[in-house]
Homo-oligomer: A and B are copies of this chain.
Amino acid sequence: MNQIELFSPASVANVSCGFDVLGFCLGSIGDIMRVSKTKTTGVTIGKVTGQNLPMDPLKNVASVAGLALLKEIHSEFGFQIDINKNINPGSGIGSSAASAAGAVFGINELLGSPYTRNELIRFAMEGEALASGAAHADNLAPVLLGGFTLVRSNHSLDAIKLPNPSELIATIIHPKIELKTLHSRAILKTTIPLNKATEQWGNLGAFISALYTNDYELLSRSIEDKVIEPYRAVLIPKFEETRQSALDSGALGSGISGSGPSIYALSKGRETAEKVGAAMGAVYKKINLEYQLHISEINTEGIKVLRRE
């Protein structure tokens, strides 16, 4: 194999009750990446379409992740990464995670798959660190493992794949502003009230239980964030109104996707998810704010190989 083309999906991290640990993978939006063997060693960035991304391998998230992998394993050849970037950077649906995960996945395949998908997370984290200033796996784990994932520990890197009810559909709205994770992280306080923390882990525990038991009602009751959302909500135009419009339209729950500005909602069934999307869109239409809307099943597969050559 000399070349691999793949779909590296967008993802939703935090999911209200699971700040820095919970995430899920989307199916309807992602980057198309092509990784090709080169004679010279190292990693280069080739053709980039869709967005302006740094061409310097030390400044591009994809190549930095790839280079992290190549620090650990010897390769006689190098790699060129071409990216058709469909995910907007700073939109809150794991743009850098898709780049980083796609790069290490492609390189690993061309090397004959010495690493499992789970093992690839820690290399991709070096790309994430470049983008957000902190190495987190909450977007990377769902992109690489698919479905819902829990990162038990970001330090010792312990990522678990979780099941999900099959009728769960995600609605994502991206109001066209850009928020850097770096900035929406800086707004957080370094301590939180113990009683709020307790509520948060009660909700996360219940959310995970609901994923195993297909309990949509419990899932709905667990989607709550009194710890992070109150601080970040102010960075997102009309957040509360948009979230409420999703709930009023039948969503099981809604909150900030990752560090925003995208807002996610989870619904039972596609029909409700589409109604929810229309209601959320109407809020932004009223104030003439451009937005993008994605409606997607939970992508339980994660990164998908499109072509091997």
Interface residues of A (CB under 8 A from B): 17-22, 150-154, 158, 160, 162, 188-195, 197-206, 208-209, 212, 218, 221-222, 227
Flag if A201 contacts B158 (CB, 8 Å). no
Q: Are B191 and A22 in contact (CB under 8 A)?
A: no
Contacts of A17 in B (CB 8 A): 201
- Select which of B189, B195, B200 is within 8 A of A201 by beta carbon: B200
From B150, B191, B201, contact of A193 by CB (8 A): B191
B206 near A205: Cβ-Cβ < 8 Å: no
Q: A19-B198, A21-B202, A208-B208 are in contact. List 14 more A-B contacts (CB 8 A).
A: A18-B205, A20-B198, A20-B202, A21-B198, A150-B206, A150-B209, A152-B202, A152-B221, A153-B203, A158-B221, A162-B209, A190-B195, A197-B200, A197-B227
Set of chain B residues within 8 Å of A222, measured between Cβ atoms: 152
Q: Given the complex, which residues of B lie within 8 Å of A154, measured CB to CB?
A: 202
Q: In whole angstroms, what is the CA distance A92 to B22 when docked?
A: 32
Is A203 in contact with B19, judged by CB distance below 8 angstroms? no
Instruction: Give chain B nearest CB distance to A73 CB in angstroms.
Output: 26
